[in-house]
Structure 1
Amino acid sequence: MMNIPELPNLIHYAIPFFVLTVIIEVILTVKVKMDDYEYKDAITSITMGLGNVFIGLFSKGIILAFFVFLYQFRFFTLPFAWWVWLLLLFAEDFCYYWNHRIAHESRLFWASHVVHHSSQKYNLSTALRQTWSGSFYTFIFWAPLPLLGFHPVMIIMQMSISLLYQYWIHTELIDKLPKWFESLFNTPSHHRVHHATNPQYLDRNHAGIFIIWDKLFGTFEPEVEKPVYGLVSNINTYNPIKIAFVEWYHMLKDVFTSNTSISKKLLYLIKPPGWRHDGSGKLSTDLRKEWEQNKKREA
């Protein structure tokens, strides 16, 4: 029988740290005369984050049960050893990359992920603006890990570590870090690109901890032009309930009210945000192509 150590819930322990660092960032932001903090926006983000933590008390049980079920059918049995944690660091981050990328390429997953992109500001409080619905179904992207023999408790822990890492990169106070670090890891510069609505930045830099996945799979974009944050079509509300569920409403409305075949109705769940069955919609790839064509004309 494997000896399983009791591992702490890192997110809960980190809450006081989150509060302290947000306060410090507010002070520094005002001191260096950058754009003032949008306090309503920050409060909304913190409210979304607290809601996510509360919902996590229930969803974590579902996720753990799912991983435990799959673990019965594992191909290997890996110990709680340092080298397994190292393997898991990269394996979990690989799963996160594909979860994050699909969240931008499939509307069903975008419906929950859009919450995190709904702020038009970019600061540490934005990192706390988390989904209330995604934790109930996005965990399927981590299904290979228990099958490979990583213990479910280890997986849950590494998922928390990944989220904690991504907290500090939500800031404009840090410019670019040393080149070796920028080439390997996700950084504030890389993640500012991810949150931007500039056409060349759309659906880029999906990394969690390591930026190497974006470079390997063709979704990397360096920060050159100043990012403009938010959504292509902003929600323009501070109401947490609306932010949490507005895209679900619009997506399901398209499914049930669009005048087309059932098969095309279902495509509203699978296709990227902006897709329309009659071809009238604009995808992020279309906006990027338009930008590239304009750049060529200017040259």
Structure 2
Amino acid sequence: MPEFPNIILFAIPFFIISMILELYVTTRDQLKRVKGYEAKDAFASIAMGLGNVFLGFFSKVVVLWALMLVYENFRVFTIPLAWWSFVLLFFADDLSYYWFHRISHECRLFWASHVVHHSSQHYNLSTALRQTWSGGFYSFVFWLWLPLLGFHPGMILLQMSISLLYQFWIHTETIDKLPNWFEAIMNTPSHHRVHHGSNPLYLDRNHAGILIIWDKLFGTFQPELKDEKVVYGLVKNIDTYNPVKIAFIEWWQMFKDAFSGRKSLKNRLFYLVKPPGWKHDGSGKISEELREEWLREKSNN
């Protein structure tokens, strides 16, 4: 098996330096539209990131085992280690990330781990470090088709790390809009600010990893609007800086909804697979309903 470096570990000093620079720029220029860093929030994000790195030593064992199992026993082709195979893998991995990210917003079982990343009401480079402690143990299912095609697991893990590194720099308000050609193809701070918005118009939009083209292709793209300032966080914020609560509060709430009270087995299962906000008695609202309601009110005004 080819050995590739764990570039996430090598990038940690870059993360720290970048956050210090961002903090300096936002403080120096006193940008009113930037909330900036709140110490407790930033430290909570960093704690989540450190926990993710630590647990990653264990989750990557599971991921590597699953990828190798498919590659060694079920692969259709054997794709060599060549420059063109990495080009193909770049697009295949990015498409996998798009669907993983989109389903993580549309299925509560995956949202239970992904909600961690959206739990901050601030948006800066430290927010990028606010990563799940549980998602790494099962989100890899969206990448299993890659070793089935014949991509080596080592290549896949390397490209997944490259995608994660790219997404670090887009978690900032210090960059407004980039050149039109770049905004048209690539995921940018502007596009990703939309993704972190709790505004009804922005909910569950711009799921891109590196390329924004997938959102445009599959109908989930929403540009950042000047007259609709992004409000960061969740529809219902969790209001805690405790890393353990941030990591597991949605798991607790999901299982509580699914297994408490009197409801049918079908509805219990629906609490695991339906989108966040869904309620069996109709009292909840999912993001599509919130968006449609907002658009109706907007048109009436």
TM-score interval, normalised by the smaller of the two chains: over 0.9
Query: d(CA) in 2 for partners of 1:258 and 1:153?
Result: 46
Could you tell me which amino acid in structure 2 is paired with residue 68 of structure 1?
M
Cα deviations by residue, 1:38-90 (Å, 9 ceiling, x for unpaired): 11101100010000000000111110010000002111100110000000000
Query: Partner of 2:44: helix, strand, or coil?
Result: helix
In structure 2, the residue matched to 1:290 is 293
Query: d(CA) in 1 for partners of 2:62 and 2:55?
Result: 11
Cα deviations by residue, 1:113-137 (Å, 9 ceiling, x for unpaired): 0000000000000000000000000
In structure 1, the residue matched to 2:96 is 95
Query: Partner of 1:214: helix, strand, or coil?
Result: helix
Could you tell me which amino acid in structure 2 is paired with residue 282 of structure 1?
K
Cα deviations by residue, 1:175-219 (Å, 9 ceiling, x for unpaired): 000000000000000000000011110000000000000000000
Query: Partner of 1:167: helix, strand, or coil?
Result: coil
Could you tell me which amino acid in structure 2 is paired with residue 141 of structure 1?
F
4+ residue runs over 2 A deviation: none
Contact 2:8 2:161 in 1 (8 A): yes
Q: Is 1:259 paired with 2:262? A: yes
In structure 2, the residue matched to 1:38 is 38
Query: d(CA) in 1 for partners of 2:36 and 2:202?
Result: 24
Contact 2:36 2:124 in 1 (8 A): no
Query: Partner of 1:120: helix, strand, or coil?
Result: coil
Query: Partner of 1:47: helix, strand, or coil?
Result: helix
Query: d(CA) in 2 for partners of 1:101 and 1:33?
Result: 35
Runs (5+) with no aligned partner, structure 1: none
In structure 2, the residue matched to 1:28 is 25
Query: d(CA) in 1 for partners of 2:293 and 2:2?
Result: 54
Q: Is 1:67 paired with 2:63? A: no
Query: d(CA) in 1 for partners of 2:159 and 2:231?
Result: 31
Q: Is 1:199 paired with 2:196? A: no
In structure 2, the residue matched to 1:137 is 138
Deviates more, 1:29-38 or 1:210-219: 29-38
Could you tell me which amino acid in structure 2 is paired with residue 28 of structure 1?
V
- How far is 1:36 from its partner? 3.6
TM-score by length of 2: 0.97
Contact 1:258 1:265 in 2 (8 A): no
Query: d(CA) in 1 for partners of 2:3 and 2:145?
Result: 23
Q: Is 1:240 paired with 2:243? A: yes
Runs (5+) with no aligned partner, structure 2: none
Give the RMSD, CA atoms, in angstroms: 0.8
Query: Partner of 1:169: helix, strand, or coil?
Result: coil
